[in-house]
């Protein structure tokens, strides 16, 4: 095991010169940090996605590209000497312009990945230079030479063995001499085509890289000082959680706490790498440690909220006392690579929610072809405008009265679907989007305050 840490900085942490300077300070203050994984500057990926979706109007396209140029040149203008990076960043902006023009004629997932990858490629040039000017022995490294994935553009899956091998050969030796700065979110497939891991994928990248180099720790620097009992914007009395277990944190990430990308903890868990989550704006405030074993295991730990839920209800009266219906349904879903989140069943129906973390954002759609195939088995009803609330804790399903406490509080709300008991760590339910925040607030007051 290497004795160094991997530190990941999110988009807001590298949004501008001041933010990047704070990152450099955090890195300089911890000699154990040898590998830095950076997101694109805040807002950049959104612009790139817009361009990749095809902006037909030329002046509108030019405007967006100008916006990108400004974000990056603003930071560069505050550096002392940019002779080593100026041309490289400009070349990437030119590349964005060329690819955007191509996307305005015909879009493709492959082109999109090529385009959106430019964000991280630019930010890492600038961050590396800034760190060098702060006296850090920083070098930039193109992660596409290490992080290998399949070719599922927009949401590529990592090839762990290839990544580990390349990391051992190319990355670990470099980290012995330097502080290496590299890109989150992006990778490359077997043909060396650029791929991305899905929106918000930098956390996941950082965890995969930490796993591949056998890191001692993974630091996720973001814009909030750690994981809270719930989003403080919803419940002002939400409290920071100093320490949380991998299982609880995974449930939270899966069920919508925006702090970590849902896949982030898998590599960390596989390799038992402790994960720290903190704010690069206020490192002195500390943050949350995610570890295998933690000192306390409270009944209720946190509340997570996720909007943009799509619920699919499948009904077939013939399902009553028959067999094989669910198998048929899930075969169709599997064939269309549709990932399902929650499932509840009754005698004649099954309701499920669809999962989505790919580049498009928004509520996931049930693909038309999948719907057609499902309609041959049953009636299909799709409902959007829903939110998922997840209560995370320990031994809830084995603790008398815990469900009653929750549902008494929710008496006034219209609950659409409940999942309880499958995991000892969560109880979750679906309700209308416009009621969800109130429900979280009420539950927080009742269970946590």
Q: What are phi and psi of 53, to 5 degrees?
A: -75, -5
d(CA 373, CA 332): 7
Residue 179: count of CB within 10 angstroms of its CB: 23
d(CA 220, CA 242): 14
Q: What's the closest the beta carbon of residue 205 comes to ligand ASP, in angstroms?
A: 8
Binders of ligand ASP among 114-133, rule CB under 6 A? 119
Binders of ligand ASP among 31-60, rule CB under 6 A? 39-40, 45
Interface size with Mg ion, residues (CB under 5 A): 3
Annotated ligand binding at 120? The verdict is yes
Taking CB under 5 A as the criterion, the residue among 4, 7, 9, 10 binding Mg ion is 10
Tokens 């996307």 map to which residue? Answer: 103
Q: Does 183 bind ligand ASP (CB under 6 A)?
A: no
Angle at alpha carbon of residue 35, lines to 148 and 220, rounded to 5°: 90
- Partner in contact with 287, chosen from ligand ASP, Mg ion, none, beta carbon below 5 to 8 Å by kind: none
- Partner in contact with 112, chosen from ligand ASP, Mg ion, none, beta carbon below 5 to 8 Å by kind: none
Binding-residue pattern over the window 33 to 52 for Mg ion, x denoting contact by CB under 5 A? ------x-------------
Q: Does 198 bind Mg ion (CB under 5 A)?
A: no
Q: What's the closest the beta carbon of residue 59 comes to ligand ASP, in angstroms?
A: 25
Q: At what angle do helices 109-133 and 44-52 cross, to 10 degrees?
A: 160
Q: What's the closest the beta carbon of residue 71 comes to ligand ASP, in angstroms?
A: 13
Taking CB under 6 A as the criterion, the residue among 154, 158, 201, 278 binding ligand ASP is 201
Q: Does 202 bind ligand ASP (CB under 6 A)?
A: yes
Distance (Å) of CA 8 to CA 5, 49, 279, 333: 10, 22, 11, 34
Q: What's the closest the beta carbon of residue 36 comes to Mg ion, in angstroms?
A: 15
d(CA 248, CA 290): 9
Please identify the residue of the shown chain whose CB is closest to the bound ligand ASP: 202
Q: What's the closest the beta carbon of residue 70 comes to Mg ion, in angstroms?
A: 20
Q: Contact 142/183 with Cβ under 8 angstroms?
A: yes
Q: Does 11 bind ligand ASP (CB under 6 A)?
A: yes
Q: Does 185 bind ligand ASP (CB under 6 A)?
A: yes
Instruction: Considering only the stretches 198-206, 274-282, 290-298, 405-413, report the one whose residues sit in contact with ligand ASP under the rule CB under 6 A.
Output: 198-206
Is the backbone of residue 364 left (phi > 0), alpha (psi -120 to 50) or beta?
Answer: beta
Interface size with ligand ASP, residues (CB under 6 A): 12
Which DSSP string corresponds to 94-115?
A: HHHHHHHHHHHH---HHHHHHH
Q: Does 154 bind ligand ASP (CB under 6 A)?
A: no
d(CA 83, CA 444): 53
Q: What's the closest the beta carbon of residue 11 comes to Mg ion, in angstroms?
A: 4
Q: What's the closest the beta carbon of residue 199 comes to ligand ASP, in angstroms?
A: 4
Q: Does 184 bind ligand ASP (CB under 6 A)?
A: yes
Q: Does 287 bind Mg ion (CB under 5 A)?
A: no
Residue 81: count of CB within 10 angstroms of its CB: 10
Going by DSSP bridges, is the β-strand pair 426-432/349-354 parallel, antiparallel, or unpaired?
unpaired
Taking CB under 6 A as the criterion, the residue among 154, 158, 187, 200 binding ligand ASP is 200
Q: Is 449 helix (H, G, I), strand (E, B) or coil?
A: coil
Going by DSSP bridges, is the β-strand pair 415-420/275-279 parallel, antiparallel, or unpaired?
unpaired
Q: Does 325 bind ligand ASP (CB under 6 A)?
A: no
Tokens 């939110």 map to which residue? Answer: 387
Is the backbone of residue 39 left (phi > 0), alpha (psi -120 to 50) or beta?
Answer: beta
- Partner in contact with 199, chosen from ligand ASP, Mg ion, none, beta carbon below 5 to 8 Å by kind: ligand ASP
Annotated ligand binding at 233? The verdict is yes
Please identify the residue of the shown chain whose CB is closest to the bound Mg ion: 11
Taking CB under 5 A as the criterion, the residue among 4, 5, 6, 11 binding Mg ion is 11
d(CA 258, CA 254): 9
d(CA 288, CA 301): 13
368: Cβ–Cβ under 8 A, 6 or more apart, which residues?
A: none
CB-nearer residue toward ligand ASP: 113 or 251: 113
Cα dihedral 180, 18, 207, 363 in deg (nearest 10): -140
CB-nearer residue toward ligand ASP: 157 or 432: 157
Q: What's the closest the beta carbon of residue 200 comes to Mg ion, in angstroms?
A: 5
Cα dihedral 305, 306, 309, 314 in deg (nearest 10): -50
- Partner in contact with 364, chosen from Mg ion, ligand ASP, none, beta carbon below 5 to 8 Å by kind: none
Q: Which residues bind Mg ion (CB under 5 A)?
A: 10-11, 39
Return residues touching ligand ASP (CB under 6 A): 10-11, 39-40, 45, 119, 184-185, 199-202
* Binding-site entries for ATP: 8-11, 222-223, 228, 233
């Amino acid at each position: 095991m290497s004795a160094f840490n991997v530190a990941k900085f999110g988009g807001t942490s590298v949004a501008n010169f001041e933010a990047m300077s704070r990152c450099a300070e955090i890195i300089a203050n911890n000699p154990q940090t040898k590998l830095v994984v950076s997101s694109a500057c805040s807002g950049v990926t959104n612009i790139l996605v817009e361009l990749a979706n095809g902006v037909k109007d030329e002046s509108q396209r030019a405007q967006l590209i100008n916006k990108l140029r400004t974000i990056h040149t603003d930071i560069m203008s505050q550096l002392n000497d940019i002779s080593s990076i100026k041309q490289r960043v400009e070349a990437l902006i030119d590349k964005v312009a060329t690819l955007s023009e191509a996307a305005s004629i015909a879009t493709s997932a492959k082109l999109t990945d090529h385009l959106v990858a430019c964000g991280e490629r630019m930010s890492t040039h600038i961050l590396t230079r800034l760190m060098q000017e702060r006296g850090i022995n920083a070098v930039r490294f193109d992660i596409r030479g290490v992080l290998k994935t399949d070719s599922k553009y927009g949401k590529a899956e990592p090839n762990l063995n290839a990544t580990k091998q390349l990391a051992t050969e190319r990355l670990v030796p470099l980290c012995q001499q330097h502080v290496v700065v590299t890109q989150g979110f992006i990778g490359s497939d077997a043909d060396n085509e650029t791929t991305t891991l899905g929106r918000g994928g930098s956390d996941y990248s950082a965890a995969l890289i930490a796993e591949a180099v056998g890191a001692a720790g993974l630091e996720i620097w973001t814009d909030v000082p750690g994981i809270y009992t719930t989003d403080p914007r919803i419940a002002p009395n939400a409290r920071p959680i100093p320490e949380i277990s991998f299982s609880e944190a995974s449930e939270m990430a899966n069920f919508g706490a925006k702090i970590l990308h849902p896949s982030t903890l898998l590599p960390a868990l596989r390799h038992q790498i402790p994960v720290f989550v903190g704010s690069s704006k206020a490192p002195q405030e500390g943050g949350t440690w995610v570890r295998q074993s933690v000192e306390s295991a409270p009944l209720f730990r946190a509340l997570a909220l996720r909007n943009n839920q799509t619920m699919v209800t499948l009904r077939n009266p013939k399902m009553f006392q028959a067999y094989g219906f669910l198998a048929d349904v899930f075969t169709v879903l599997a064939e269309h690579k549709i990932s399902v989140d929650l499932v509840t069943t009754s005698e004649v129906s099954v309701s499920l929610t669809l999962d989505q973390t790919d580049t498009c954002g928004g509520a996931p759609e049930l693909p038309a072809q999948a719907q057609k195939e499902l309609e041959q088995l049953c009636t299909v009803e799709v409902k959007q405008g829903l939110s998922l609330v997840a209560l995370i804790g320990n031994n809830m399903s084995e603790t008398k009265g815990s469900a009653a406490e929750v549902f008494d509080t929710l008496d006034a709300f219209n609950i659409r679907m409940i999942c309880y008991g499958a995991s000892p760590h969560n109880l979750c339910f679906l309700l209308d989007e416009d009621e969800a925040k109130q429900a979280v607030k009420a539950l927080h007051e009742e269970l946590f305050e």
